Amino acid sequence: MNKRGDRGGQLAESHAEGRVSTTGTGSGRSSGDGTAVFAQDLFNGIAESYDTWAQVLTFFQYLRWRRFLVSQMTLRPQNLVLDVCTGTAGVALEIAGRHDGRIVGLDITHSMLAAGLSAIERRGLDGRIQLVQGRAERLPFPDETFDTVVFTYLLRYVQEPDATIRELSRVLKPGGELLSLEFGVPEKTWIQLLWRIYNKVVMPVMTVPVSRGWHRVGCFLGPSIWSFGQRCPVDRIAAMWRENGIPLVETKRLFEGIAIVMWGTKQI
């Protein structure tokens, strides 16, 4: 795509609306991409209660991980931040609490964004946080638009992690920061054993009385994290970041490696 090319204009329009905007870049179900349809189905089933159960199922670590992620950002006045996989806008709201610039939250699942929009409006932040429905693989923004790009729990849901990182880096300004948060597999043997029992047995069982949607998540999450860790270990992901313009990648494993935060600066 050309620099400042044909995906431009959407951002200004979206800010003016102050509502969830649909970008027309494959956010719907007609793209034929199974992973996108799967992610939308999965998250549509849990959007209403997402924030509560995400906290419970992670032993109340979820918000702490999010806060650590945001604490690693170098946010300057007037910076423009893109929060990819914003979901119910938790990361965007956390950023807004520390930063006076504008934030754009993008997600593929409309009901997650609708829950996010309610939270934003409740806090009177709809003038500063704009939500856009779209796909991380085809971001509806011109090259080098954002000072900071952050993505959370994304790469397990895309077919080509490498191409998706390239797309995230494309919309980042030179000298801007890329940050991510993802689940990981603990390295210590006995903690990994507990982690496997929790994911294979405890979570599928304890989510049964919650809802069908959460039971589906409870059965899906462990195998998804495990297979992604086999396919794309942290070193491989860091190499993808380097290949896409982020030469120095820092990594922090939280809660014995159950969550992994990565960050780095795009070369000028």
Residues that bind ligand SAM (CB under 6 A): 36, 39, 43, 54, 66, 85-87, 90-91, 107-109, 112, 135-137, 152-154, 157-158
* Smallest distance from ligand SAM to CB 106, Å: 6
* Smallest distance from ligand SAM to CB 18, Å: 20
> CB within 8 A of 115, min separation 6: which ones?
47, 48, 50, 51, 87, 88, 89
Which of 108, 99, 104, 64 minimizes the C-alpha distance to 83?
104
* Smallest distance from ligand SAM to CB 117, Å: 13
* Smallest distance from ligand SAM to CB 197, Å: 22
**Residue with smaller CB distance to ligand SAM, 39 or 240:** 39
Please name the helix (run of DSSP H) or strand (run of DSSP E) that holds residue 176, with its range, or none: strand 172-183
Nearest residue to the partner ligand SAM, using Cβ: 87
**Residue with smaller CB distance to ligand SAM, 67 or 188:** 67
**Residue with smaller CB distance to ligand SAM, 217 or 247:** 217
Do 171 and 135 contact (CB within 8 A), yes or no? Answer: no
Which of 179, 152, 180, 153 minimizes the C-alpha distance to 75?
179
254 three-class SS: strand
**Residue with smaller CB distance to ligand SAM, 217 or 246:** 217
